[in-house]
Amino acid sequence: MRKILLFTIFHLLFANLNASGYPGDYLYTFGATTRGLNLGGAGVASVNDSGSFYWNPALISGNIYRECVFFYSPIIEGTVFQSFSFNWPICFRNVIGLSWVSLKTEDAEWVDSFGVGNRGTFSNSRDAFFITLGRRLSRNIDWGINLKIVNEKFFTWQDSGFGLDIGSVFFPEGKFSFGFMIQNILQPSLKFAPNALPDTYPLNLRVGFIWRQKQFSFSFDYLFFDLFPDEKVYTDKIKPKGTYFTGVKIRPLSVFSIFLGYNEREYSAGFLFSLGDFDFGYNWAVSNWGDNHRFSLGIRFGALPSLKEKVLKEKEKELKVYERYLENKEKDIIAKEKRQEEIKRIFIKERLKAAKRYLKNHEYSLSKREVRSVLRVDPENKEAQKILRGIKKGILKADLKYAIALQYYKNGEYKKSIKYLKKAIRMNPEDIRSKYLLNLCYSRIFLKKGQYKEARKYAIEAFKLKSESEEPVGIIKGIDEILKGRK
């Protein structure tokens, strides 16, 4: 591994995380506000104050207030981590921020690689300055960048470098939000001695999500370290490392929230108290190197007057877009209904026309079929009901003529029966009974005249119409016996 010339308190700070030994590790696995640290450091989709630049620069775009956050964390042996961040909204979901992060140790004992001390004391400081921009990309996506200057001072050695981070957050309509940040796309590189290898900050990827309920949320981040390691810097084979962060938030009151968090370095718990334009946060962490108490204070200066107007205008604009959508949808529905009504009108018109034609021709079953198709579409259609009454009236008249014809047939007055049967068939051509009885009448008349072949022909036609009837069968058998006797 990288040759370590001095052993300082900074190696203890991150000793339990995979980040240990990476240049700039204080910018990856700690935090700049108690909101994120209370969640175990899972802040890439969760933190929503000006300190969110530390986890994801895109998150500051959700801040509609001018806000500054002070963060202070005494660690051990005179080591202090602190930060200050400030956000200034330009317009809705368009925010810039300025931030400073510092990790400093005063009066640390000088020891060599063998642990031999008594060489005096020294100071060590690491500082990073950020310019952050968070902007809206689309309705449900924001993006952001961090431009940063890092400076490290170790005893008499000092160097600075420049870096760039990018991030994005996706918040669909629902309970989940997702975020990512790529750290050190532009990698700061610091060199502390003329012949020493430079300390180049690694390219990292942080991804995560938050799941929200009414008074509860769960956050999870995963940090992939050193995606493309430079093997020239190391003496053994390097594999990409990663670590995770997770935490929960419970909000029993609108002004008070409690947190539980965990990562590979520590367990943590804390609270956030919000009152008006002030937030006070506390985080208590327990790790192998002892307890740690962290504090943050957030102050909001209120939304800019112009920003309030822009927020309202943006809301009004979205409302108008939605109203236009509803209007267009309503127009489409009305147009569709009109088309359907026109189709219905044409359908009814054609069916009624056909029904009248069939009724005129005494084709009652076909007329009835057309009327029923109209009534299925328009049960209250008066014209269809009128035609239906006409059909029933026509059938009733035909039935009356048939009844008279049947009585004449039973009395043996076949010619009179035929007269009424023809009228019945003309009134209702589909009446099988009338056609059957008409064939029997002709059969009886020809039978009386001794014209047996004609009589037999009409009897067979009657049988075809009503095969279950015995009368035509009897006539046919009788004629067959007569014809057989003649032979």
For 293-338, the pLDDT digits (tens) are 999 999 988 765 555 566 677 788 888 888 888 888 888 898 888 8
| Average pLDDT of the segment spanning 3-21 | 45
> Quick one: pLDDT band at residue 22, thresholds 50, 70, 90?
confident
Residue from 435, 449, 447 nearest 474 by CA = 447
Which amino acid is residue 100, in one-letter code? W
8 A C-beta contact, residue 51 and residue 161: no
| Average pLDDT of the segment spanning 385-398 | 86
Site of tokens 């005096």: 120
8 A C-beta contact, residue 25 and residue 188: no
For the record, the structure tokens of 232 come out as 């020239």
The reply to whether the predicted model has a pTM over 0.85 is: no
Mean pLDDT of the chain: 85
Q: Between 452-465 and 432-448, two packed helices, what is the crossing angle to 10 degrees?
A: 160
8 A C-beta contact, residue 354 and residue 372: no
| Average pLDDT of the segment spanning 176-191 | 93
Question: Which pLDDT value is given to residue 429?
Answer: 84
Question: Which pLDDT value is given to residue 146?
Answer: 96
Distance, CA of 53 to CA of 440 (rounded, Å): 105
Which of 2-16, 33-47, 318-332, 401-415 has the weakest average pLDDT? Answer: 2-16
Question: Which pLDDT value is given to residue 231?
Answer: 67
Percent of the chain at pLDDT > 90 equals: 37
Q: Based on DSSP, count helices (H) and strands (E) in the chain, helices before strands.
A: 9, 16
pLDDT at 281 over 90: yes
pLDDT at 68 over 90: yes
Could you tell me the sign of the dihedral formed by the alpha carbons of 474, 477, 479, 482, in that order? negative
Longest dimension (CA), the chain: 154
Question: Which pLDDT value is given to residue 81?
Answer: 93
Higher per-residue pLDDT: 448 or 123: 448
> Quick one: pLDDT band at residue 157, thresholds 50, 70, 90?
confident
| Average pLDDT of the segment spanning 79-108 | 89
> Quick one: pLDDT band at residue 384, thresholds 50, 70, 90?
confident
Distance, CA of 482 to CA of 452 (rounded, Å): 9
Question: Which pLDDT value is given to residue 260?
Answer: 96
Question: Which pLDDT value is given to residue 469?
Answer: 86
Burial classification of residue 402, based on how many CB atoms lie within 10 Å of its CB (0-12 exposed, 13-18 middle, 19 or more buried) = buried
Q: 3-class SS at 9?
A: helix
Contacts 24+ apart (CB under 8 A), 248-253: 248/39, 248/216, 248/217, 248/218, 248/219, 249/38, 249/39, 249/216, 249/217, 249/218, 249/219, 250/215, 250/216, 251/215, 251/216, 252/215
pLDDT at 250 over 90: yes
Q: 133-151: per-residue pLDDT in tens?
A: 999 999 899 999 999 999 9
What dotted CATH number matches 9-303? 2.40.160.60
Q: 406-425: per-residue pLDDT in tens?
A: 999 899 898 999 999 898 88
> Quick one: pLDDT band at residue 21, thresholds 50, 70, 90?
low
For the chain, the residue count is 487
Question: Which pLDDT value is given to residue 141?
Answer: 94
Q: Number of C-alpha atoms within 13 angstroms, CB side, residue 392?
A: 7
Domain ranges of the chain: 9-303
> Quick one: pLDDT band at residue 129, thresholds 50, 70, 90?
very high
Residue from 5, 9, 124, 30 nearest 83 by CA = 30
